[in-house]
Amino acid sequence: MRVLLTGAAGSIGRVLSVGLSDRGHEVVGVDVVPQPDGLDDAWHTADCADPDAVADVFEAEFAESSLDAVVHMAGHPGELSLPDSLTSHVVTTAALLDAMVGHGVRRLVYGGSNHAVGHTPRTGLPEGLLPVETRLRPDTFYGVAKAAAESLMSLYADRHGLDVVSCRIGSFRAEPATLRQLATWLSHDDCVRMVDAALTTPAPGFAVLYGISHNARGWWDLAPGRALGYDPLDDAEGWADRVEARLEDAMENAHVGGPYLAESMQRPALDRA
């Protein structure tokens, strides 16, 4: 498939650029920064929050070839004010969706987040697993924006018949470093497997999966991902003997969002001069 990858210069984007290419996809990178050294794919420097810039990217691609799908990983990875979070995660998604509809691109794979359901307590989960059907319970404005982006993609899936998969990513790291991450870790290789499955699964409509590896301590339901062809192979348990206990562990393991529930993450919705 010929895939437009947003946020291609970021930590996940770089891994996907190489990994998807290795799996036979042709990757076209987009980011607000110029192409980093070591990435040889086609490249556009553009801000996905600017719908005109996104339209220009699509026009350029379709003037020379076409696109089969978009993998949207662009966006600020942490907490901002509410307007800035919505711009980073919802406005960018809207710009891409409009361009996709205009050019007949039928599939979007989204870099969602567990923080869309981050306020969900771990206690009382059915069968001890976090289902994808749990109600949206954001833990931050970042989580609100990720939840809103999912709602927007659901609208476009219904209105325009797009295939959309939101991957609620856990802890994307080279290796897990905390007790919580022994449950929520997503390895680099499994991240590539996840996105490849979301790109190639037949007719998913609107679907959600949890982006974690096959962790022995995992408590997020992997069945929805497996139904889409995502079979994670890595396990954080291999690093368990290197992870030291911390005072924060109890708080971080009480809710889905972990450290995003800390008081230090709380801030007013709107920045004031």
d(CA 139, CA 265): 9
Please say whether the beta carbons of 137 and 120 come within 8 A: yes
Strand pairing report for 2-6 and 42-45? unpaired
Eight-class DSSP state of 28:
E
Q: How many CB atoms lie within 10 A of CB 188?
A: 20
**DSSP bridge partners of 218:** none
For residues 61-93, one letter each, b for 16 or more C-beta atoms within 10 angstroms of the residue's C-beta and e for the rest, the string is beeeeebebbbbbbbeeebbebebbbbbbbbbb
Interhelix angle 51-64/92-103, nearest 10 degrees: 30
260 is catalytic: no
Cβ neighbours of 99 (radius 10 Å): 23
CA distances from 176 to 67, 90, 181, 196 (A): 35, 29, 5, 23
Of 81, 98, 82, 113, which is closest to residue 12 (Cα–Cα)? 113
CB atoms within 10 A of CB 177: 16
Catalytic residue among 110, 142, 210, 260: 142
Q: Tokens 């069945």 correspond to what residue?
A: 223
Q: Give the residue numbers marked as catalytic.
A: 142
